[in-house]
Amino acid sequence: MSKNKIYSVLIIVLLLTNTILVGFMVLKPKRASRKENQNPKEIISKSLQFNESQSTQYHSLVILHRRAVRAKDAQIRDSKKSLYNLLTTDDLIKRQEDSIVKRLGDLQRDIEILHFKHFKDIKKICGPTQEDAFNKLAKTLTTLFKPQDRKPKK
């Protein structure tokens, strides 16, 4: 085979490969844009179809809830700092370690209680016609707040 034929075959293979790759790029399903990915607050508000008064109440509940959770998160960060600072001491005191770990568990429990109370408060502002929508939403809460994957799974 001459060099020209080898180059011709190679060029044709490369063109076919590029064409196939471009086809995959153009024909692959579109991922949701950032605008279409709503945050949980918007999803809850939209699925429960709050009126103006309910939206105002809901917004206030969200602000109070976020403030309370941020305070607990700050306490968790401080407790973790204290725990890991124990590693810098030569004589690791097991009692201190256990105390801090228990404190971290208590704080995490407090956060879960805050979340649960928050949704009980949301349920209270719902009207009778929104009860079914709330019950349906309650079944999906664990998936609504899970961290989003940054990379699609293969």
Mean pLDDT of 80-100: 86
Tell whether the model's pLDDT for residue 20 goes beyond 50.
Answer: yes
Residue 110 φ/ψ, nearest 5 degrees = -60, -40
Question: In this structure, what token pair is assigned to residue 104?
Answer: 């971290």
**Segments making up each domain of the chain, as ranges:** 39-144
Question: In this structure, what token pair is assigned to residue 42?
Answer: 């918007």
pLDDT of residue 143: 82
Percentage above 90 pLDDT, the chain:
55
Mean pLDDT of 135-142: 89
pLDDT of residue 142: 84
Q: Who wins on pLDDT, 24 or 104?
A: 104
What are the C-alpha distances in Å from 122 to residues 2, 42, 47, 61, 125? 77, 13, 12, 8, 5
- Report how far residue 103's alpha carbon sits from residue 109's, in angstroms, rounded to the nearest whole number: 10
Tell whether the model's pLDDT for residue 41 goes beyond 70.
Answer: yes
CB 47 within 8 A of CB 39: no
Tell whether the model's pLDDT for residue 23 goes beyond 60.
Answer: yes
What is the second-level CATH architecture of the domain 39-144?
A: Up-down Bundle (1.20)
